[in-house]
Structure 1
Amino acid sequence: MLLCNISRVEKVCKMLKVQPLLSIIITCYNYEMYIGECIRSVLSQNYDNLEIIVVDDGSTDQSWQKIQEFGDKIVAVRTENRGQLKTSLTGLSLSHGDFVYFLDADDVLGEGALAHIEPYLRPGVSKIQFMLLPIDQTGKSIGNAFPALQPSDDSGPLIRSIRARGYYDTPPTSGNIYRRDVYEGLGEMTYERGIDGVSYLLAPFVGRVVSIDKTLGKYRIHNANQSSFSVLTSKRMKGYVDRFMGRLHHLDELVQARCATIDKLEVRNDYAYVMELKTMSLVVDGKRPSIGQISAYIRAVRREHTGKKRLALCLFAVALFVLPNAIAKQLAAIRIDPSRSRQMRSRLKQAFSV
């Protein structure tokens, strides 16, 4: 499949061996405990052509004071509290890089990460993605690196996954570096909270997505960023569906505008992810899903998945139908926030050890 927007500048860069300018944008809101470590992890990188932009989103703790300690080593800006998307766009407007990396203030860039990534910063590459190690608030590892990426620079399978499932496996924000133009000209994103929701979907259509099967960063899990999963409601489920569908409709517009040689994206209403959320929404409201609802969910799973994942999701669908509502709710909570399964295993271990 031909990809659009592959720049001729790539040949020039190869001849001149120019090190691309990389903009690292750190957005912060009330992360005084972590912002210093985050910035230091960038300053310690072995990469010369680098700019570091830190935007404080009106923090009410000591985050801004911590940021100012780095002086002219970084570009630091403070705004009123406006949310992650607008804060990220402010950082983008201040940047000049050929490539842009949004690093969450509570995450950490791994030692030597940019030296490993540098060979892939080429104009024909629209995105570099790498694995992240989950850590707790103290920096201790609490799980295996994710997602399980296979080395690749082929966007074809990712495009096919988007057409079939509406997404492809990708790390959180701090595991992705984008060519600048992927973020430009996106237009209104009223459905969105973060900057990379539609960008990760667009990247395979406008260049090569490089997947690196190495852990090059750390993703911190703590009480503050788990709070979004703390209360499971049908309203929250609807919000997830609206963002998922909003991204796909937006993607369809962007692909048509930028990629004349690529077939139109057909956006459906029966993706397995959507059917799953709608089913869980009923469970959260204390209702038992109908046989028709469960059947539609299972059909979507069988259409989009194979092997162990297909079996696991089909069993999950059946469990939501047959189990008492209280248990079904717990399963839905674990599905939304997998860290809950660790808590449940811990409680069971304690119970059986008495």
Structure 2
Amino acid sequence: MVTGSDAPSAAPLVSEQSGAASHPKLAIVITCFNYEAYVERAIASVLMQGRGDWELVVIDDGSTDGSWAAITRTGAKAFRIENGGQRAACLFGFDQTSAPFVLFLDADDELKPGALATIMASLDPDVAKLQFPLTRIDGAGAIISGAVPPLDDFRTRADLATRVLRTGVYTTPPTSGNVFRRDLCEVLREATYDKAVDGIILFAAPFLGDVVSLSEELGLYRIHGRNDSGLGRPADPISLNRDIQRFVERLEHLRSFLVRFGLASQLVAANDSFFFLERHFALDIASGRRPRLRGLPHLIRCLWLEYFPTRTKAVVTVFFIIAALLPNARAQRLMAYRFNVGRRSARDLLRALVGRDA
């Protein structure tokens, strides 16, 4: 069922935002599930951008709180659909737009003033994806820390394609820090295994066009304990198992996508990738098991194939060795330190290493 008000027979709400262009350059799709507390701020952050060459559509993905009332108060073009998860809601919103580029903005995130001007100045038909870091804030809007993740300014295609083939990943922001060309979004229709939207299209992008990376933080990423990514919560067996399963399925989807380019055989196997092995290492610790030492050399070899600075690789190597040897309670504290999304200090690290076991 698709409605535009609480009445089942009502037509979709199509109160266009003022100043929207008849031929928009960028579409912003906001999807919301039970984010009544945040969604108006997300919408306002778009409406206040001060330009008219964009289009906005908001999708209420079957919320059971007051999200729909909050959305309709803004006057933005909006649809209310039955709950189907982020990917389905994003695709529904995508189909209501026509712009050549799309930004899927989470309902608990926001754009900073002037963000759209900066973004659109860097878009052209050869760009498959543009990315920018986000500033971390808490539920009340206070800044937790800076860039998620820190990014350099660059524009490339071949380098990132090689990196994806070799490791399966590259450094990329959460959903709200990405803009995708319209044809790339079509690949989402094949991802029936995934409820999230920031999966296959992130890593397919460099095979369809240039990836533009901006170092300026253009949005706000809210950490409040309900983030679907799990950021802001300690690593636990359920979320780690989910991460591993998603990664395996996304990599297999990417392999089938790469058949059209004759590159499928060059894509790394999941169990030879650092992401897969690191998550399994963390899963052992989170599950109360000591990581198997015989698997440690393979994990470290894969770490050194990654595109991290040498100093980072050395530090993380030592981290893995220490975590593998510590009693489980301390190893869990060490992993919590590694996955902590806020500011981390030497004191926090020392507490994880020598603190008393609970």
Report the TM-score, using the length of structure 2 for normalisation: 0.84
Q: For residues 100-125 of structure 1, what are the alpha-carbon distances to aligned partners after superposition, in whole Å with 9 as ceiling and x for unaligned?
A: 11001111111011111222221111
Task: State the identity %.
Answer: 38
Higher relative contact order (CA 8 A, sep 6+): 1
Among 99, 103, 118, which residue is 2:105 paired with? Answer: 103
**SS of 1:150's equivalent?**
coil
Q: Quick one: which amino acid aligns to residue 58 of structure 1? A: G
Distance 2:181 2:92 in 1: 17
CA apart distance, 1:346: 11
Matched, 1:249 2:252: yes
**SS of 1:181's equivalent?**
helix
Q: For residues 134-159 of structure 1, what are the alpha-carbon distances to aligned partners after superposition, in whole Å with 9 as ceiling and x for unaligned?
A: 11122221111232211111122211
Cα contact 1:149–1:213 (8 A) shared by 2: yes
Moved more, 309-318 or 181-190: 181-190
Matched, 1:26 2:39: no
Matched, 1:200 2:234: no
Gaps of at least 5 residues in structure 1 are 1-17
Moved more, 122-131 or 292-301: 292-301
Among 43, 64, 70, which residue is 2:68 paired with? Answer: 64
Q: What residue in structure 2 maps to residue 299 of structure 1?
A: 301
**SS of 1:338's equivalent?**
coil
Distance 2:210 2:23 in 1: 19
Distance 1:58 1:142 in 2: 30
Q: How many residues matched? A: 327
Matched, 1:334 2:337: yes
Among 51, 55, 64, which residue is 1:47 paired with? Answer: 51
Alignment of 1:87-236 (within 5 A): 87-225=89-227, 228=230, 230=233, 232-236=235-239
Q: For residues 280-313 of structure 1, what are the alpha-carbon distances to aligned partners after superposition, in whole Å with 9 as ceiling and x for unaligned?
A: 2222222212221112211211233451221122
Distance 2:238 2:221 in 1: 27
CA apart distance, 1:37: 1.1
Cα contact 2:174–2:198 (8 A) shared by 1: no
Distance 2:46 2:242 in 1: 34
Report the TM-score, using the length of structure 1 for normalisation: 0.85
Q: For residues 322-342 of structure 1, what are the alpha-carbon distances to aligned partners after superposition, in whole Å with 9 as ceiling and x for unaligned?
A: 101001112223333434957
**SS of 1:331's equivalent?**
helix
Q: What residue in structure 1 maps to residue 266 of structure 2?
A: 265
Check 1:90–1:345 CA distance in 2 against 1; reply closer, same or farther (3 A cut): same
Distance 2:111 2:125 in 1: 23
Cα contact 1:197–1:247 (8 A) shared by 2: yes
Q: Considering fraction of residues, name the structure with more helix.
A: 1
**SS of 2:113's equivalent?**
coil
Q: What residue in structure 2 maps to residue 85 of structure 1?
A: 87
**SS of 1:182's equivalent?**
helix
